[in-house]
């Protein structure tokens, strides 16, 4: 039985240089990864992913601005990104990567600015019922409060490392947690997998991020699936079946 996996968070623009890096795509397909959700860091990366998605069925686009960028991005540029979402709303799978990061970015003024920008994207996501692909570190509670404030229907907390208390808020709001290679070395992430029911778990590569010496690629979602299977004590086929069903529902992917 061949398994079908979905990479729910990938910086795919890194694999587009004039043309798409076919080796990365072939390697992913060989490992059962049939769809890759690309997330933008800023306008340029978002546009790159969006354009490539138009010609490649395996690529599923999200447009957004990362919290490491959002606080220093001009309002003019932010508006360009919002406009890119609005004019492609029927084609987009979601908005991301967006969020709040109070650990890697320090300073109340910068946090304030991150929050203003994040709020604009959350509002838009709620308005168009788009899934939000979220990055948050040290601001998990603020993020969940914002999502609840606007009644966001669909969201995934990528690489969640927050408290188990806020995890319960995320799950009871119907949102997802996405797991990556950090599950192979982090006890905290293993604990999060244990605490999260399978119908709320999706998988990701976050590639090309380097995880403790391993340069991630979309094909590593297979390794993540195997590790989650081991933790949940069920077969990798079952993990693939359930997480792929979750990802399809989350990002309105059809196949």
Q: Which stretch binds Zn ion (CB under 5 A): 71-79, 91-99, 123-131, 220-228?
A: 91-99
Our CB check for Zn ion shows the closer of 180 and 196 to be 180
Is residue 247 within 8 Å of residue 6, measured between CB atoms? yes
Edge to edge, the sheet with strand 5-10 lists 5-10, 33-38, 59-63, 94-101, 131-137, 155-158, 176-179, 201-203
Residues numbered 93-132 forming contacts with Zn ion, rule: CB under 5 A: 97
Q: Which two tokens stand for residue 134?
A: 């979220």
Size of the site for Zn ion (CB under 5 A): 2
Residues numbered 138-167 forming contacts with Zn ion, rule: CB under 5 A: none
DSSP assignment string, 77-131: HHHHHHHHHHTTTTT--EEEEEEEETTTS--HHHHHHHHHHHHHHHHHHHHHTPE
Our CB check for Zn ion shows the closer of 97 and 140 to be 97
Is residue 250 within 8 Å of residue 62, measured between CB atoms? no
Q: How far is the CB of 39 from Zn ion (least distance, A)?
A: 6
Q: How far is the CB of 120 from Zn ion (least distance, A)?
A: 19
Q: Which stretch binds Zn ion (CB under 5 A): 13-21, 205-213, 217-225, 234-242?
A: 205-213
Our CB check for Zn ion shows the closer of 3 and 67 to be 67
Q: Which stretch binds Zn ion (CB under 5 A): 25-33, 160-168, 187-195, 199-207?
A: 199-207
Our CB check for Zn ion shows the closer of 103 and 238 to be 103
- If we measure between CA atoms, which residue out of 235, 145, 116 comes closest to residue 243? 235
Whole-angstrom Cα distance, residue 192 to residue 224? 14
Our CB check for Zn ion shows the closer of 20 and 208 to be 208
Q: Which stretch binds Zn ion (CB under 5 A): 14-22, 147-155, 186-194, 204-212?
A: 204-212
Whole-angstrom Cα distance, residue 136 to residue 111? 12
What one-character DSSP code corresponds to residue 71? Answer: T
Q: Which residues bind Zn ion (CB under 5 A)?
A: 97, 206
């Amino acid at each position: 039985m061949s398994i079908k996996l979905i990479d729910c968070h990938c910086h795919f623009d890194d694999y587009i240089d004039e043309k798409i890096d076919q080796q990365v795509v072939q390697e992913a397909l060989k490992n059962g990864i049939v769809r890759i959700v690309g997330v933008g860091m800023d306008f340029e990366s978002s546009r790159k992913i969006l354009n490539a998605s138009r010609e490649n069925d395996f690529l599923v686009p999200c447009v957004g601005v990362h919290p490491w960028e959002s606080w220093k991005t001009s309002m003019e540029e932010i508006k360009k990104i919002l406009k890119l979402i609005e004019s492609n709303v029927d084609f987009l799978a979601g908005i991301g990567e967006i969020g709040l990061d109070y650990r890697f970015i320090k300073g109340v003024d910068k946090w304030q600015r991150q929050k203003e920008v994040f709020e604009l994207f959350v509002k838009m996501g709620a308005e168009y019922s788009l899934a939000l692909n979220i990055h948050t570190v040290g601001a998990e509670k603020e993020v969940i409060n914002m999502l609840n404030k606007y009644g966001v229907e669909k969201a995934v907390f990528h690489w969640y490392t927050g408290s188990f208390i806020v995890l319960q808020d995320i799950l009871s709001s119907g949102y997802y947690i996405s797991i990556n290679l950090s599950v192979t070395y982090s006890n905290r992430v293993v604990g999060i997998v244990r605490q999260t029911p399978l119908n709320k778990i999706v998988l990701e590569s976050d590639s090309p991020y380097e995880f403790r010496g391993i340069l991630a690629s979309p094909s590593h979602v297979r390794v993540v699936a195997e590790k989650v299977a081991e933790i949940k004590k069920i077969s990798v086929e079952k993990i693939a079946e359930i997480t792929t069903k979750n990802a399809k529902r989350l990002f309105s992917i059809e196949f």
